[in-house]
Chain A
């Protein structure tokens, strides 16, 4: 096996306006976009069109490939169809309008999140949340979770390879074997977490997180965040 772990994919996009921003600005901008989308009143056509235009501009400036956006929007299509389908079953007169509103906002909110997802790796995301002032213990737990999920994935892949290497003539996974593999996976995860904890204690860890303090934001980031919030507020105030 290669020495390089593949469980935490790197950011898909490393160029463009969005990728150039500090991860904290990316998080705040995404949150602002989502809040603007979901708080726009139903039937307020101009504001929602305005917010959609801002989301579109951010997506375009982020240089996220259309294939990246397309795949994720296709994966989300069943949710949109389910919302619209449920509206058809409803007896309410405005059910269709409500469903279209919900589906539009859900799709826009997803679209608003995609530049963040494309430009930010998982560890960078945890790092950004830490620098935004998320409680340090929570950051530590989140960071350990991100790494733990990756390690679990690796262990699961190893178990799968070991099973398949000996599964001559019967590749179907029986329920009892699945339970056994799951048990082994959990035991390995527990053993790993204990070893990580011992290693933390060995370096003086006493239960309190001691992460690097946040560095100040650049003027570029502050300017971008201020401009975005100002535009979103103006758009939302449209009649």
Chain B
């Protein structure tokens, strides 16, 4: 098991309950989609995985319990791609940005350059090393942000709303790319068509609790459950109905 979360509870400083006891598991090479309406607690869970937030309960990533002492180790194992790539890309060139994580890992320069080259090719941005990140399209920025995390070779790839604000072509391209990536993946989204495309196991989150879970084909056809928790069935399934 790559990720095990048990009884995770978290309150915001103003006392509001963000997570009310979340249990979640992600197996090796498994794709899990954490779906829920805005405010359901998806991003709050993701921030716990990199120890940016500390709630009650237990989180174990690839055998390492998340704690104050294991922060560096955990951040090596969890690769979090943020919703807005502008929050993630801050170096003057794409090459430097993608190499930022590997250099923080203390890898030698030849290895860093090799990883940068390989992941940029993998995300379809070969030759972008010297481009300025802020001059790229949103779809390209998302790919660079993903490359920056893949270059660290995390045990668990975590994506926060990866398809947000993308036009249909960029979204399709991202879906194709994500389908090619192997390894454990946790995707927080309310884009249920994306979940269906990736064939991920679905965990429905509402009010800071996991309220349903199962294969995408099963959960995403359960209109009553989806609507009860502020979601709608994927467009592709509605078209077939």
Contacts and interface: CB of A to CB of B under 8 A. Distances in A.
B127 interface: no
A205 B99 contact: no
A4 B90 contact: no
A143 B92 CA distance: 7
Contacts of A124: 92
B90 A5 contact: no
B72 interface: yes
Interface in B129-176: 132, 134-139, 141, 148-149, 152
B91 interface: yes
Contact of A199 (B88, B105, B135, B152): B88
B137 A204 contact: no
A210 interface: yes
A10 B137 CA distance: 15
A34 B139 CA distance: 43
Nearest to A151: B86
Contacts of A147: 90, 134
B82 interface: yes
Interface stretch (A40-48, A190-198, A230-238): A190-198
Interface in A89-132: 121, 123-124, 126-127
Contacts of B141: 3
Contact of A211 (B50, B96, B139): B96
A121 B75 CA distance: 33
A5 B135 contact: yes
A213 B104 CA distance: 13
A203 B134 contact: no
A123 B132 contact: yes
B223 interface: no
Contacts of B99: 212
A223 to B, nearest CB: 24
A66 interface: no
Contact of A121 (B47, B82, B88, B132): B132
B201 to A, nearest CB: 24
A145 to B, nearest CB: 11
Interface in B74-106: 75-76, 78, 80, 82, 84, 86-88, 90-93, 95-96, 99-101, 103-105
A55 B72 CA distance: 52
A8 B92 CA distance: 11
Contacts of A5: 134-135
A196 B105 contact: no
A161 interface: no
A124 B96 CA distance: 12
Given A203-B152, A210-B100, A127 B93 contact: yes
Contact of B104 (A10, A144, A210): A210
Contact of A203 (B52, B101, B132, B139): B101
B64 to A, nearest CB: 15
B109 interface: yes
Contacts of B76: 204
A176 to B, nearest CB: 28
Q: Which 6 A-B pairs have the closest CB atoms?
A: A204-B104, A123-B92, A210-B103, A3-B138, A203-B101, A3-B137
12 contacts: A4-B137, A5-B135, A10-B135, A123-B93, A127-B96, A202-B78, A203-B101, A203-B148, A204-B101, A204-B105, A206-B104, A211-B103
Given A3-B138, A204-B101, 18 more contacts: A121-B132, A127-B92, A143-B90, A143-B92, A192-B86, A196-B87, A198-B47, A198-B82, A199-B90, A200-B100, A201-B75, A202-B75, A202-B82, A203-B149, A203-B152, A204-B105, A206-B104, A212-B96
